[in-house]
A and B are shown apart, each in its own frame.
Chain A
Amino acid sequence: MYAVEMVNIVKRFPGVLANDHVTLRVKKGSIHAIVGENGAGKSTLMNQLYGLYHPDEGEIFIDGKKVVIKGPRDAIKEGIGMVHQHFMLVDTLTVAENVVLGSEPKKGLNFDLKRARKEVMELSEKYGLTVDVDAKVEDISVGMQQRVEIIKTLYRGANIIILDEPTAVLTPQEVEELFAIMRKLKSDGKTILFISHKLHEVMEISDRVTVMRLGKVTGELETSQTNPKEIARYMVGRDVVLTVTKEFHEPKDTVFEVKNLVVKDNRGLVAVNDVSFEVKRGEIVGIAGVAGNGQTELVEAITGLRKIESGHMYFEGKDVTGFTPRQLREQGMAHIPEDRLKHGLIKEFEAYYNVILGGHYKTLFTNGPFLNHNKIFEYTKQLMEEFDVRPRRIEHLGGNFSGGNQQKLVVGREINTNPKFLVVAQPTRGLDVGAIEFIHKQILKMRERDVGILLISMELEEIFSLSDRILVMYEGEIMGEVRPEETTVEEVGMMMTGHRLEEARRG
């Protein structure tokens, strides 16, 4: 019995065939993974199941019954729920209010908060979805926000739950928690559609895997009878090597330095507490840490987006404390931001306007007070070619690229500014293996060109394979500095949970 059958789905966008006769069958009560390179059409397919897009051709069956899903409302009626990669919660409302929003329990004409809280707590307990019902969404962690989204789908009676790249924003610990929840949901008879770029996750949690490539289904596999290598081959059409090798490279003089930096978060609490470090030319300094320990605020302060309470920053020895983002860029700083949809891209701008952001006023792109569109178009074409951004349409809107291709656009733009110092936050979030390899190579190439690089990542693997030195951050402070070849994941893990290096070494 299939819970979901999507038969011969075709979906076209201007210049792109996003789904090309895709057929997907998902058994009731199973966890079904969908994998594929960036832009393969996974989100598009799921968005059609959830009624956000409408197929140009093809049919959808839910529990064997043919359905036409005109919008999310229809999807919810059919018992389908979706958790998007970018959460759609109201920051200023509480968890309970968010869950019931749109289908609030009423007492007479009034909103029945008590019942809402009770129902949310029941769901939360039943599936181990730990949440704080009375906390405001803006104050809870990303992992908890995701659990709120899941509870929301369950509250609306979902039997089929779509999770679009749920693990991309989670810490390894949170991923384990999510998997435990998914297993509970499954044992309760729910059907789960799971999108991820991490094949080891797919191997661990799924029953079956559908592999997509360039809009088509290239393989459907029983998870227990396959392996990551085989899946990757279906994904890219060839064998992939998953390792980048780092050559030895002698760091030069210091290019960037912070001294006793103190920065506050949005709530006015100290988020970065007396942090000092330096980055040399040709060196990658990695900052490891569990999300929410001040990394975001540190990056924003360094790049001029957040006020510095006290302390100093130096660029090539010059005091640049309090410089604006433009002044810092003029010094030779570039920044690949952690949230590409908030800071990195303007969704409404075409690719060609997005790739000039930050340098848009330079003579390279202008003609007196006017933009030189010919030059901009030419530049964009080259950049998209060089960084393999797909689709190769310079007029494609930023918001219409797949997640991975948005990232390539941002990475390409920043690398192309020829910086002396590059701040890179979560550079491979949501990228497929091929793209990760590509971006890691780009970062290493920058290092060889003697660019100083500050790398912030929640992926320990990424930190270990790229960094020359690793700083571990916990509650706004640096717990210690280690070299990847002289430490272990366990040691860094200890520091990430608040043990200073000396303590961690003592064990």
Chain B
Amino acid sequence: MNKKVMAILVPVISVLIALAISTIVIILIGKNPIDAYSALIRGSFGSKQAIADTVIKTTPLILTGLAVGFGFRAGVFNIGAEGQMVMGALIAATFASNFGSLPPLIAIPLTMLIAMLVGAGYAAIAGFLKAKTGAHEVVTTIMLNSIAGNFASYMVNGPLKVSSGTPKSPEIADSAQLPVLMKVGAIEMSAGIIIAIIAAIIMYILLNKSTAGYEIKAVGFNPYAAEYGGISVSKNVVLAMAISGALAGLAGATELMGVHHRFLGELSGGKGFDGISIALIGQNNPIGIIFAAFLIGSLRTGSNEMQFIGVPKHMVMIIQGIVIFLVAADRIVRTILIRKRVAK
């Protein structure tokens, strides 16, 4: 079967299987699955507020998904999106609280740029260690994650601390905040989603149209052949990690500039790790990643509504878990597809 068709079919079928399994679970706990799913859909798309909420949840997931997905395409497993996101947002917040005198046209791109550069630099450490010493990026990025987490909590409890209560940094200047696209009640949906989609498009072009993308993919597929073809493996490993980290840093920036407007502990809240699942579901394809992030974003938003009618919101964790399991173990899905064909 065609590879491209497979790439779409595997996640779609995985989602369907996951829904089927969770339907059974819902029945087993004595609830009506139709009610549960309609609550879920109502919760994520049923009102303007619900839609805004879904989009807000989806935005950072697209970006961390792109970060991890880009790494995969270059043959590096960046588990450190979380730490890169934290560092990017933290440093950008520190600068952006002083951007009051800059016009938005400068303050916004500048804040984003700082977050991306910090994310890139932080990820490049792992890339550099891999290229120079062979230290595996999974190990080093995990270590960098805990350094970032501890550093951030020191900063918001110490040097950057404002008032008491939740440890947090001062608010960033108004001019560094992203414009609001839609305001429903207390919910403000910022232009972050546009940034995320543009990032996906740029990643698509970079990977599929540019010479740099050609080199990065070559290194990811076969480093020996890449080296033979005059492509520097170490340079591209560092570059790929840096680009991946820049995307994670950008995820931190959209959260900072569009949602929280300051750095605080829950800003990253595991979204960097979610990026791994989303990259997997989206098959490392930028467009696939947008859909995957949207799927997870809407499941999470809708889960509260489901909770109201008595179906535990953890149901969506089950769905998410099964989808990831099936996509990761895509041999299983492929085998099911192939067996069917053989039987025919």
Contacts and interface: CB of A to CB of B under 8 A. Distances in A.
Given A70-B339, A70-B342, A366-B211, A329 B221 contact: no
B232 interface: yes
Contact of B214 (A325, A329, A348, A371): A371
Interface string A308-341: 0000000000000000111001000001010000
Interface in A370-391: 370-371, 373
A305 B228 contact: yes
Interface string B314-337: 000000000000000000000000
B225 A345 contact: yes
A325 B224 CA distance: 12
Contact of A360 (B214, B224, B338, B341): B214
Contacts, number: 71
Given A14-B2, A371-B209, A342 B225 contact: yes
A326 B211 contact: no
Contacts of B227: 305, 325, 343
B318 to A, nearest CB: 31
Nearest to A366: B211
A369 interface: yes
A431 B224 CA distance: 23
Nearest to B222: A346
A324 B212 contact: no
A325 B341 contact: no
A347 interface: yes
Given A324-B232, A329-B230, A357-B218, A54 B338 contact: yes
Q: Chain A contact residues: over half helix, strand or loop, or mixed? A: loop
A54 B337 CA distance: 13
Contacts of A369: 210-212
A342 B226 CA distance: 10
A335 B225 CA distance: 12
Nearest to B219: A346
Given A68-B342, A326-B230, A370 B225 contact: no
B82 interface: no
Interface in B179-226: 209-212, 214-215, 217-218, 221-222, 224-226
Contacts of B231: 326
A361 interface: yes
B165 interface: no
B310 interface: no
A361 B218 contact: no
A342 B224 contact: yes
A292 interface: no
A326 B225 CA distance: 12
Contacts of A194: none
B229 interface: yes
Contacts of B338: 54
Given A54-B338, A70-B342, A337-B228, A360 B215 contact: yes
Contacts of A347: 221-222
A428 B282 CA distance: 42
Contact of B225 (A54, A70, A346, A361): A346
A277 interface: no
B270 to A, nearest CB: 32
Contact of B230 (A54, A325, A346): A325
Interface in A288-312: 303, 305
B342 A343 contact: no
Interface in B84-137: none
A474 interface: no
Contacts of A370: 209-211
Nearest to A397: B3
A358 B227 CA distance: 9
Question: Which among B2, B224, B225, B338 has the highest number of chain A CB atoms within 10 Å?
Answer: B225
Contacts of B342: 54, 68, 70
A349 B224 CA distance: 14
Given A342-B224, A371-B214, A358 B229 contact: yes
Contact of A54 (B2, B210, B215, B341): B341
B73 to A, nearest CB: 11
B133 to A, nearest CB: 16
A344 B209 contact: no
A234 interface: no
A369 B206 CA distance: 9
Contacts of A342: 222, 224-225
A324 B229 CA distance: 10
A139 B215 CA distance: 32
Contacts of B2: 14
A343 B224 CA distance: 5
Question: Which among A70, A346, A373 has the highest number of chain B CB atoms within 10 Å?
Answer: A346
A256 interface: no
A305 B226 CA distance: 11
B343 to A, nearest CB: 9
Contacts of B215: 360-361
Nearest to A68: B342
B227 to A, nearest CB: 6
Given A70-B339, A371-B210, A371-B214, A360 B229 contact: yes
B211 A360 contact: yes
Nearest to A345: B225
A353 interface: yes
A70 B341 CA distance: 11
Contacts of B225: 342-346, 357
A307 to B, nearest CB: 13
B221 A348 contact: yes
Given A54-B342, A347-B221, A325 B229 contact: yes
B82 to A, nearest CB: 29
Question: Which among A14, A54, A371 has the highest number of chain B CB atoms within 10 Å?
Answer: A371
B228 A335 contact: yes
Contact of B211 (A305, A325, A361): A361
26 contacts: A54-B342, A70-B339, A70-B342, A305-B227, A325-B229, A326-B232, A335-B228, A342-B222, A342-B225, A343-B227, A345-B222, A346-B218, A346-B221, A346-B222, A347-B221, A347-B222, A348-B222, A349-B217, A357-B229, A358-B228, A358-B229, A366-B211, A369-B211, A370-B209, A370-B210, A373-B209
Interface of B: 2, 209-212, 214-215, 217-218, 221-222, 224-232, 338-339, 341-342
The 3 A-B pairs of least Cβ separation, nearest first, read A326-B230, A357-B229, A343-B228
Given A348-B221, A371-B209, 18 more contacts: A54-B338, A68-B342, A305-B227, A325-B228, A326-B231, A326-B232, A343-B227, A345-B225, A346-B218, A346-B222, A349-B218, A357-B225, A357-B228, A358-B229, A361-B215, A369-B212, A370-B210, A371-B211
